[in-house]
Every structure is written in structure tokens, then in C-alpha cells.
Amino acid sequence: MSAPSPASAVQSALARDKLGTLSLLHFSLTAATPLTVIAGGVVVMFAVAGQIGIPLGYVIIAVSLWLFSVGYTAMARHIANAGAMYAFVARGLGRVPGVAAAWVAATSYCALQASLYGLLGFTAQGLIARAGLDLPWWVWALVAWALVGLLGTRAVDINAKVLAVLLTVEVAVILMFSASNFANAADGLSFGAFAPTALSGEAAGAVLALAVIGFIGFESPTVYGEEARDRKRTVARATLATIGVLAFVYIASSWSIITAVGDDQVVAAATGDLDLMFTLAGEQLGSAWVTIGQVLLLTSVTAAALSFHNTTARYLFALGREQVLFTWLGRTSVRTCAPVAASVTQTVAGGLVLVLWAVLELDPVVHLFYYLGTASGIGLIALILTCAVAVLVYFARDRRDESAWSARIAPVLAVLAMAGVLYLSVLHFHTLLGVEKGSLLPKLVPIVFAALALLGAAWGLFLKRARPEVYAGIGHGAKAPLVQAAERAAVPVGAAGER
């Protein structure tokens, strides 16, 4: 009988330090801020779309993203730098499309983060004006901007703790408001919101685009792939759980608003009162809950701004480390190891947007939050679609022992679903912006993203020709220097050998 192999002390210690599904779920849910989506987005979706099919829109997007996540998490098991979608594009479709995707991704996240300052300034202005201090929206937006900028350059674990507390309180309040709405139904429980006819016409794409933005953050568990307890299962479970939890919260709360107001009245009620969710809570639970809800919305939007700030900073940091963008973006803070140069760059970009909007006296909600936020949504949907295509192509070359469902069927369905969402979003983008069909603005946004992608691709081609060692590291993120060093060391006489 053979003796059992001795246990590895080092591997046991490393395994104890690994992250489980709940830890990854915690990270990804703190990247999403549900109260911002519900109070800041869902009510507006009723008003903009003029339809009650918002819960159905969330069901469709949840299913589409679930299909996408099957192939996405399967591919994450096989590549380095699995936290960034452009890395998937680089490995699946090539480095040149990877750089194009990186440029679109960085711009989209940057714009989405800046757009939140509009909602934040507007909410703070209304709330604090009631306390007797009436200042312009941009003053409060700048205060939040400074806070986010400061926290962004600090150790990220401080941010994670702040976000975790806010998330817990938010979800508890949302569920309480939703339960109260269901308990105070206007016409009993209605399933009309889930009928196919509830989501149709010129507004369907607008609803789907806004619904996608609510789920952004679902992709973050892959960032921790190398630290996951079981790389094969933990990341996939956490991603799926993130989509499931967010879908439950969004569907339940949007359905509860319809139930409380009534199928026929909810669009008019939302159009007349963008604080509908809090108004309902005030009527049902007492006026104090209006203030509590608005204060929480304020902290939620701040948390969302902080979360997207960190996401954008990490994108820029990884691109700096790869030398795809300016190398100085890859600098870290000595004391905290936070990506300080990328964080400051994002802060400066957000500040410029705020100052520009304030000087031009543009509306913080319509022109900043909706226009910039929904425009970034188009970029992010295009990014997810490109990533879905990259997953499909990657596994078409080699299935790498993945199941047919993970490597073939789900990626094909995900490409079809996300292509449909992108098509409808671009087609109905004028509804989202509230402008006439055929006007310039809705056309301008896809053109800007296409131009960015082309410029990124051109830069990728330049790197391929002029700096091949940098080109070799594209998509490898933190590990790019290793790949670049190997590329520099590669000599034609086949000197690879043993070290």
C-alpha cells in the first residue's frame, strides 16, 4: 500500500487565504449601488419609456448577462488579467481590437462616473435646501467630487468597508419600501408588467440600455480570479449570484412601484414626480422615510461614484502598466499601493466635466446624468457584445476542456442577445435622450465611440510596428512587464532553455 502524499504546508496556508463565493459577492455587490439604480433610474425609466414593462426589461437583461457570464467566467479561467473586458477582447480577437476595446471601456467608465455627479448634486441641492442652505447643484457635486477623489487615492480596503456598510443599509431600505408597496397594492397584484406587450415600440431599446447600466459591476468577480478558493467554480458562482441578487432587487422594487400605483397610473405618476419611490414610502410609512430615503440616495450615488472611480482608475492603471496609454498612469501610491496617478487622472477628468457643465449652466439631471450616463451605457453594451464575440472566437479555436454549454451554446446565445440589445439601444437612443428621431445627438454618440475604437485600433497597429515588446504585453495587465521582458529577451537563436 502506498503512503499518502505529504500535505503541502505552503499550499494549505495559501488556500486559507483564498476568497470564497461570499467574499467575491461582497466585492461585486459593493461595486453596484442598487438604490441609485432604483431611485435614480427606475422611476425615470417609467417616465422616459412611457411603459410599464420595466421589470420585464430587467428580466431580459438578467438572462442576457447570465448567458454572457457563462462563457465569460469560463474564459476567465484560462487567461491572465481576467478583470478587464478588453483583456478578453485582446485574447479572443487580437491585440489591436483589444486596444480599441480598452479605449472605449476607459471612456465609458469615465463618462458614467462623471455623470453620477449630476444626480448627486441635484439630490443634495434639494435635500439641503430643505434644511435652509440653498446652494447651486455644482457646489455639492464638487464637494462629493473632492471626497471621491480623496478616497480614491487611499487604500482600497477603506473604500470597500465604506461601500459595504452603505450597501447593507441600502438593500434593507429597498426591500422594506418594496414590501410596503406590495402591502399597499392599488389594484391587487398585477402581472401586466411581465406581458410582452408591456415592453415594445420606440422605448424598448431605451429601457434595455438603462437596465444594463444597473448591472455594471457584475463582471468584477473575475478580477479576483487568482485569489479565488476554487478558480473553476468560485468566480462563476459569484458572478451568477451577483446577477441574481441584483435582478431580484431591481425586478421586485420596480414591480412593487407598479403594484402600489397601478398599471394605468404609474407612467403619469413617475412623469410628475421623479421622487415617486420616496413619495410612496412617505405615504405608507411616514414622512420621515422620505428624508431617510433621500439621504441614503445621496450616500448611494456617492458610493456609486466612488465605485466607478475605482473601476476606471484600475482600467487606466492596467493600461499604464501595459504602456498602452501613458506609462505614468501605472504609478502607485508608495504608502497605500493605490493606483494614485490613474485615480488623480480620473478625478481631473470628472472635475473638468463638472466645471464645464456648471459654466454652461446645463441641467445636472437631464444633460449630465441622463445624457452622459446613457451615452456611456451604449459604450458599455458595445463592450460587452465585443467581449461576448471574443469569448465565442476564443473557444472556437480550442474548447480547452470546457463543456459545450460554456464554450459554444451560451456564448452564441449571449452574442445574439447582446447584439439585439445594442441594436435596439442605438435604434431607440433618441427616446433615451428625449429628442426627435433623426436628430444629431443620438447619432453622435455611436459615432464618437466608433471613432474612439478606430483611434484605439490605429494606436494598436502603431505599437505593433514601432514597439513590439509593448504590443506583446497588451491584455496582460499587471503581468505585462513579464511578457514584455520575455519578448525583449527572445532572440532568434532559440535561447529559451532552462534557467
Partner 1 sequence: MPDAPTPRLVYDAFLITAYHDFYKPAVAPRVIGLGLGAALLAELVFSGHLAVRSHEGRDLVLSEPRGGPPRDSLGLWLTELVQGEPEHLAVPDWLEYLAIADTQTKTAEHMVVAGLMVRGEQRSRWLGKVQVTYDAADALIAQAPLARLRRYLSTMDRRMPLLDAFLLALTEAVGLSKSLYSQMPSGAREYAEGHLRVLPAPLQAIRGHLTAAVADTAITGNL
Residues near partner 1 (CB under 8 A) are: 5-11, 13-14, 17, 83, 155-157, 159-160, 223-224, 226-227, 310, 314, 317-318, 321, 330-339, 477-479, 481-482, 485, 489, 496, 498-499
- Cα maximum dimension of the chain: 83
Phi-psi region of 401 (alpha: psi -120 to 50; beta: other; left: phi over 0): left
Q: Which residues contact 466 (CB under 8 A, 6 or more apart)?
A: none
Taking the complex as a whole, the smallest distance from the CB of residue 428 to partner 1 amounts, in Å, to 36
Taking the complex as a whole, the smallest distance from the CB of residue 156 to partner 1 amounts, in Å, to 3
Taking the complex as a whole, the smallest distance from the CB of residue 339 to partner 1 amounts, in Å, to 5
CA 203, CA 389: separation in Å to the nearest integer? 26
> 95: closest CA among 479, 469, 461?
461
> 34: closest CA among 245, 237, 197?
245
CA 449, CA 394: separation in Å to the nearest integer? 24
CA 63, CA 211: separation in Å to the nearest integer? 12
Taking the complex as a whole, the smallest distance from the CB of residue 224 to partner 1 amounts, in Å, to 6
Taking the complex as a whole, the smallest distance from the CB of residue 252 to partner 1 amounts, in Å, to 31
The residue among 147 and 337 lying less far from partner 1, judged by its C-beta, is 337
Instruction: Say if residues 331 and 118 touch (Cβ distance below 8 Å).
Output: no
The residue among 335 and 397 lying less far from partner 1, judged by its C-beta, is 335
The residue among 160 and 285 lying less far from partner 1, judged by its C-beta, is 160
CA 315, CA 110: separation in Å to the nearest integer? 10
Taking the complex as a whole, the smallest distance from the CB of residue 84 to partner 1 amounts, in Å, to 9
Q: Which residues contact 111 (CB under 8 A, 6 or more apart)?
A: 372, 373, 375, 376, 379
The residue among 159 and 178 lying less far from partner 1, judged by its C-beta, is 159
Quick one: how far is CA 281 from the chain centroid?
28
The residue among 102 and 410 lying less far from partner 1, judged by its C-beta, is 102
Taking the complex as a whole, the smallest distance from the CB of residue 465 to partner 1 amounts, in Å, to 23
Taking the complex as a whole, the smallest distance from the CB of residue 9 to partner 1 amounts, in Å, to 7
Three-class SS state of 19: strand
CA 252 to each of CA 42, 150, 182, 246, 433: distance values in angstroms, whole numbers, following the listed order: 11, 35, 9, 10, 26
What one-character-per-residue DSSP string does 219-259 give? Answer: TGGGGGGGGBSSTTTHHHHHHHHHHHHHHHHHHHHHHHHHH
Cβ burial, residue 150 (10 Å; 0-12/13-18/19+): exposed
CA 362, CA 78: separation in Å to the nearest integer? 46
The residue among 339 and 442 lying less far from partner 1, judged by its C-beta, is 339
CA 338, CA 431: separation in Å to the nearest integer? 40
The residue among 232 and 488 lying less far from partner 1, judged by its C-beta, is 488
> 252: closest CA among 63, 62, 58?
58
Based on C-alpha coordinates, what's the Rg of the chain? 23
Taking the complex as a whole, the smallest distance from the CB of residue 107 to partner 1 amounts, in Å, to 19
Taking the complex as a whole, the smallest distance from the CB of residue 14 to partner 1 amounts, in Å, to 6
CA 461 to each of CA 201, 236, 454: distance values in angstroms, whole numbers, following the listed order: 41, 34, 10
Taking the complex as a whole, the smallest distance from the CB of residue 328 to partner 1 amounts, in Å, to 11
Q: What is the amino acid identity at position 343?
A: S
Taking the complex as a whole, the smallest distance from the CB of residue 228 to partner 1 amounts, in Å, to 11
The residue among 83 and 442 lying less far from partner 1, judged by its C-beta, is 83
Taking the complex as a whole, the smallest distance from the CB of residue 395 to partner 1 amounts, in Å, to 20
Residue 228 pairs with which residues in a beta bridge? 19
Residue 19 pairs with which residues in a beta bridge? 228
The residue among 113 and 115 lying less far from partner 1, judged by its C-beta, is 113
